């Protein structure tokens, strides 16, 4: 049985470049897809596990089942096969770093970043559990941070190696379980049958390490470690990191229940409750939907998104335009009112002054004397004693010319936004009292012959 080495071509498709990782159960190589000229990752089982035919069969069967899991938070499996007795899995090559490397310095992550990582892992676990699978080996080494802006996290392995370990006679061999027991559930440490709730315990242990920078259960020996997991006191995250809120402490104590029935109902429920604890929300308050949560790290807040800035600028411009429209409308209304008043003033100034009506009747002008036609010759008879006396002239009162009254001018009514103004009528100006000129003296008229004849 040959051992994989650099330069080896697997199945005439994949050329091995260099080793990128090694664990207790397998080794991972960076390879090159010859036909497509793209990178990939290939994982082989170590020789002493590959020698067991039952392990090889189960490895290939569950690798094919994991290949059906497609999602943004699960690594894509491209191919499975066997090369010279070594079962292998071909996976997409991921950039970034593992969560184990991110936590290697012992510095805790911010609660916001922790909630974001746990949320995306929970979305990937939900697809695994919906397919009837249990990861069984969830740990920081199998959680890969592809990118931070925006945050993108993927799950590796899908518990395939751990399932092989649970059926192998090498279960207690050196290196077979080391590295995983720190995140084992109590029922898994007891060797009992497990379901998806074992993954929830492991996910809670990962969250504890992210929040505190330390392992929740640690010991110098494997036996003591199992005793602490099964019956030891549940550690308090606030005792390690006092900056954590009591809500996060309460979330941890509920999730780290040794009784599987006391844990959250699903991976998404676990992640959503952590998000509420970090954000300080109550159970009835709305929350970001699972899979769309974008954490904001308190360590180095980034610049606001362009979409938010565009919306802010648009709202500001709309506000300025609306204010300008209101101001222009007010100015236009004011101009209309002032123009109407100016029109009234000019019309009043241009109108002719109404004639003055005098209260004292003016004396009639004296008519000019008109020459009387020469009377026809009359035959005179001697005067009689009974002849009537000549009549005195009757003075008629002078005719008074009728007063001229200017017609009233009615102005059209103007309407405002609130009420209508009644029409305004311009009354004629008051009459001016002017002194009446004295009438010329009247002299008695000299009687004529017609008067004497009674005509």
Active site residues: 137
SS (H, E, C) 14-67: EEEEEEEEECCCEEEEEEEECCCCEEEEEEEECHHHHCCHHHHHHHHHHHHHHH
């Amino acid at each position: 049985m040959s051992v994989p080495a650099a330069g080896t071509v697997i199945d005439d498709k994949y050329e091995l470049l260099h080793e990128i990782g090694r664990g207790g159960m397998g080794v991972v190589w960076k390879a090159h897809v010859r036909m497509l000229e793209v990178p990939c990752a290939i994982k082989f089982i170590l020789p002493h596990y590959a020698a067991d035919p039952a392990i090889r069969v189960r490895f290939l069967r569950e690798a094919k089942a994991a290949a059906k899991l497609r999602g943004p938070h699960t690594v894509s499996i491209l191919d499975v096969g066997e090369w010279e007795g070594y079962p292998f899995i071909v996976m997409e090559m991921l950039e970034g770093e593992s969560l184990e490397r991110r936590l290697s310095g012992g510095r805790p992550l911010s609660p916001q970043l922790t909630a974001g990582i746990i949320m995306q892992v929970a979305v990937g676990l939900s697809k695994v559990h919906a397919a009837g699978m249990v990861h069984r080996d969830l740990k920081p080494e199998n959680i890969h941070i592809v990118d931070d802006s925006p945050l993108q996290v993927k799950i590796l392995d899908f518990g395939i190696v751990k399932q092989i370990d649970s059926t192998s006679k090498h279960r207690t061999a050196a290196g077979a379980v080391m590295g995983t027991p720190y995140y084992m559930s109590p029922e898994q440490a007891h060797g009992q049958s497990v379901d998806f709730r074992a993954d929830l315990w492991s996910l809670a242990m990962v969250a504890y390490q992210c929040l505190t920078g330390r392992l929740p259960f640690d010991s110098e020996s494997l036996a003591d470690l199992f005793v602490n997991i099964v019956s030891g006191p549940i550690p308090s995250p606030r005792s390690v990191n006092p900056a954590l809120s009591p809500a996060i402490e309460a979330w941890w104590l509920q999730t780290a229940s040794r009784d599987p029935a006391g844990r959250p109902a699903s991976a998404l429920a676990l992640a959503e409750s952590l998000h509420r604890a970090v954000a300080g929300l109550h159970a009835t308050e709305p929350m970001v939907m699972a899979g769309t949560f974008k954490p904001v790290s308190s360590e180095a807040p980034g610049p606001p998104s362009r979409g938010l800035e565009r919306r802010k600028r648009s709202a500001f411009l709309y506000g300025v335009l609306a204010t300008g429209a209101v101001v222009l409308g007010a100015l236009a209304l004011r101009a209309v009112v002032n123009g109407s008043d100016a029109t009234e003033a000019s019309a009043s100034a241009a109108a002719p002054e109404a004639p003055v009506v005098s209260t004292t009747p003016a004396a009639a002008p004296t008519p000019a004397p008109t020459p009387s036609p020469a009377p026809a010759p009359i035959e005179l008879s001697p005067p009689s004693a009974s002849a009537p006396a000549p009549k005195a002239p009757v003075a008629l009162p002078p005719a008074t010319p009728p007063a001229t009254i200017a017609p009233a001018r009615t102005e059209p009514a103007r309407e405002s936004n609130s009420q209508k103004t009644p029409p305004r009528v311009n009354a004629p100006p008051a009459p001016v009292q002017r002194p009446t000129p004295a009438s010329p003296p009247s002299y008695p008229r000299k009687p004529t012959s017609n008067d004497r004849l009674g005509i």
